[in-house]
Structure 1
Amino acid sequence: MPQAWGPIVERAIYEDRLSPRDIEELFRADLWELGAAAEYLTRKYFGNVITFIPNMILNYTNVCTIACRFCAFYRPPNHPEAYTLSVEEAIRRIMNMNNRLGIKQVLIQGGINPELSIEYYEELFKALKAKLPHVAIHGLSPIEVDYLARKHRMSYGEVLDRLRGAGMDTLAGGGGEILVDRVRKVIAPHKIDTDTWLNIMETAHKMGIMSNATMMYGHVETMSDWAEHLYRIIELQRRTHGFLSFTAWNFEPGNSELTRDVPYPLTSATLLRVVAVARLVFKNELPNIQSSWLTNGLEVAQLALKFGANDFGGTLYEERVIPATGLKMPVLTRDAVIDLIKGLGLIPAERDNWYKVIKVYN
């Protein structure tokens, strides 16, 4: 560990709580110093072990009425390219992927499709658990919970309780984007606001439903907004201890309305900065930080494992949202992830949905 840190980095390492202004100052610190400090804390908490999970994404529908300006995946109702998977087709795809590659988790993501009721999700979750009880359901997000609550005139707790009863294990962090309403009104004017997203997460956590936190940067937000976003997440975590992990990714221009205003993505160095600052802010209170290979690529995600990330994330088979932007995605197998982690001199470990290690690859 270096003997001397800059004042703000030293405060971040040794002080429990940082204000939004402190976090913004931290974001402006030297990148290599941030990386060294984040690496120091990560090795202190986790040693040399880097976790990952073999999983797939089920994009069950691309129909959505929210029409986020950054999304190239959604189609309005009745569009010729719109689709919704039947429960039978969804289960067939998941079983096929499990038979081919062996998965431990399904991340279920789609859109706000007005044709779907809570019974669709209950039928899907129950069928999946009946066929593949070892596969965890990480799915839906506060966005779908809010939609289902309004559609069925139920409380958030009632919706979450029914989804959990049908087999949902953990709640996904989709729709977080940037937790600043000024930004949200520009990039997703019809999406739930910051307080609603946080309220649904808090409701889930108090019911014993764990979730993950997310951040999508690189569009119309400022560094001050990054700081506010991390601050809101850690403040909720201190109240509930319900976030299992944090994942950040950059806005990927291409085929979306927002591309007209933001034609180029931020550099890969920005991901390293965000991951490092997240580690310094969250420390071990929100322990697991993913390296986020989906939009940034495998080499940058590998480097993020030396900038504060302790988890490589998932294999993400079948993901369709990012390819809709025109970005090509590699097919990532379990062996490829193991090799990437070993290439850094670190120890790969397969985990379950709750970040418990189930197999170490020494």
Structure 2
Amino acid sequence: MDQALEKALSGEELKPPDIERLLELNLWDLGMAADGLTRRLFGNVVTFIPNLILNYTNVCIVACKFCAFYRPLRHPEAYTMSIDQAVKLAAEVDSRFGIRQILVQGGINPELDIEYYEGLFKALKDRLPHVAIHGLSPIEVDYLARRLRMSYREILERLRAAGMDTLAGGGGEILVDDVRRVIAPHKITAETWLRIMEEAHGLGIMSNATMMYGHVESKADWAEHLYRIIQLQRRTRGFLSFTAWNFEPGNSELTSKVPYPLTSATLLRVVAVARLVFKGELPNIQSSWLTNGLEAAQLTLKFGANDFGGTLYEERVIPATGLGKPTLTKDDVVGLIKAIGLRPAERDNWYRVVKIYS
């Protein structure tokens, strides 16, 4: 057995060179090892959550080169939902499908202050008290803190008081500044992203970790990213889950450098290595069906993922790249999980199982 894989399976701590070595191994060996770990942790149960993606605005001044969704101020395609519009949409989706989570995701819109987010969260909680708000990201927290000359802690406390339950992992991309300077030169540094996450965890606000691969980074950068996430998790135990997805180049500025996405085999490799690195310390790994497709998502459930993710009603970011997006219902997800011999379980925002399907 390869020494890095042996270290992973024996429970030893993996350093970045070990993780990089794992990323080079035979895909099927990685898959078998990762699946064995996942089965020991979760048996044959795979979780999912019915959720809405509330893309409340596409106005953003950060202008990431990989993003096809954002529009500058005053652009003819720019939009911002009023609080009433956002709540009406959420209520309609809940009435039609039944949701347990709203992921509030937009951009850095300079016309929106913290009062907008507080008002939005409070209104959503008033209308849909049974639905958790998984909201914003370290990018918005940093922007609001600088704009209002407040600490990260003060911003996070205000957002939590207004109804934000957990913090989303947007803006992580690759936690290596040399990469970030190429793909998102106006975005916060890797250290700032991690510092805000640690501040949130210290307040009891849990979050998820993310990774966007397949652009200008290297396998060494992947290894550094995974290592930094597990190091923070060991300090705080505040990450609920990990989600990796591939860069989708359509309609973005970065397309000139990276015209084609990586294959689904890369997703399987990243998910398998993430399981071997995180083991049960960061237990929940999502399938990432949105950018890679439903069949690839099913395969990830045999390569270390234990969570299918959400139904993602109303998601608008990926369709902006030109990639088609199916509309999934709970029944669809249940069927996809059963089709590969695993047992579906509906969960809440904190990964607590609320219903197991026979």
- TM-score, normalised to structure 1's length? 0.98
8 Å Cα contact 2:169-2:210 kept in structure 1: yes
Residue 310 of structure 1 is matched in structure 2 by 306
Quote the residue 1:245 is aligned against. Answer: 241
Alignment partner, residue 26 of structure 1 = 22
1:322-350 per-position Cα deviation (integer Å, ceiling 9, x unaligned): 00000000001100000000011110000
Give aligned-pair identity as a percent.
75
Q: Hey, what does 2:282 align to over in structure 1?
A: 286
Partner residue of 2:54?
A: 58
**Among 64, 73, 80, the residue aligned to 1:77:** 73
* Letter aligned with residue 280 of structure 1: L
| Structure 2 match to 1:133 | 129
* Residues 79-94 of structure 1: pairs in structure 2 closer than 5 A: 79-94=75-90
Deviations, residues 240-263 of structure 1 (Å, cap 9, x unaligned) = 000000000000011000001000
Contact persistence 2:7–2:13 (CA under 8 A): no
Distance (whole Å) between structure 1 residues aligned to residue 40 and residue 6 of structure 2: 16
Residue 186 in structure 1 maps to residue 176 in structure 2: no
The alignment partner of 1:294 has SS state of helix
Cα offsets for 1:281-325 (capped at 9, x unmatched): 000000000000010000000000000000000000000000000
2:143 matched to 1:147?
yes
- 2:211 is matched with which residue: 215, 220, 238? 215
Query: SS of the counterpart of 1:301?
Result: helix
Per-residue CA deviation, residues 151-194 of structure 1 (Å, 9 max, x unaligned), is: 11110000000000000000000000000000000000000000
Residue 15 of structure 1 and its aligned partner are, at CA, apart by 2.7
Kindly state the Cα deviation for residue 9 of structure 1 after the two structures are TM-superposed: 1.2
Letter in 1 for 2:335: D
Given the alignment of the two structures, is residue 103 of structure 1 paired with residue 99 of structure 2, yes or no? yes
> 3-state SS of the aligned residue for 2:167?
coil
For the pair 1:164 / 2:160, whether they are aligned, the reply is yes
Tell me what 1:115 maps to.
Answer: 111
- CA-atom RMSD in angstroms: 0.5
Q: Secondary structure at the residue paired with 1:94?
A: helix
Instruction: Decide which of 227, 239, 248 is 1:231's aligned counterpart.
Output: 227
Return the alpha-carbon distance in structure 2 between the equivalents of residues 292 and 191 of structure 1.
Answer: 23
Equivalent AA in structure 2 for residue 206 of structure 1: G
CA shift at 1:8, angstroms?
1.9
The Cα offsets for residues 35-91 of structure 1, whole Å up to 9 and x where unpaired, read as 000000000000000000000100000000000000000000111110000000000
Unaligned runs of 5+ in 2: none
Question: CA separation in 2, counterparts of 1:91 and 1:125?
Answer: 9
Cα distance in 1 for partners of 2:75, 2:123 equals 28
Q: CA deviation at 1:11?
A: 1.1
Question: SS in structure 1 opposite 2:290?
Answer: coil
Q: CA deviation at 1:222?
A: 0.1
Runs (5+) with no aligned partner, structure 1: none
Partner Cα distance (2:75, 2:164) in 1: 30
Deviation at 1:10, TM superposition (A): 1.5
Q: Which amino acid counterpart does residue 301 of structure 2 have in structure 1?
A: L
One-letter identity of the residue aligned with 2:227: Y
Tell me which amino acid in the other structure corresponds to 1:234: I
> In structure 1, what is the Cα distance between the partners aligned to 2:219 and 2:271?
14
Aligned equivalent of 2:357, options 350, 358, 361: 361
User: Which amino acid counterpart does residue 161 of structure 2 have in structure 1?
Assistant: G
- Name the SS of the counterpart of 1:216 in structure 2: strand
CA–CA distance in structure 1, aligned partners of residues 275 and 188 of structure 2: 27
| Secondary structure at 2:292 match in 1 | coil
Asked if residue 7 in structure 1 is aligned to residue 3 in structure 2, the reply is yes
Task: Report the alpha carbon displacement of residue 7 of structure 1 after superposing the two structures with TM.
Answer: 2.5
The answer to whether the Cα contact below 8 Å between 2:297 and 2:308 also exists between their aligned partners in 1 is yes
The one-letter amino acid of 1:68's match is C
Contact preservation (8 Å) 2:311, 2:329: yes
Paired residue type of 2:18: D
Inter-partner Cα distance in structure 2 for 1:24 and 1:336: 36
- Residue type of the partner of 1:185? R
Query: Size of the alignment, in residue pairs?
Result: 358
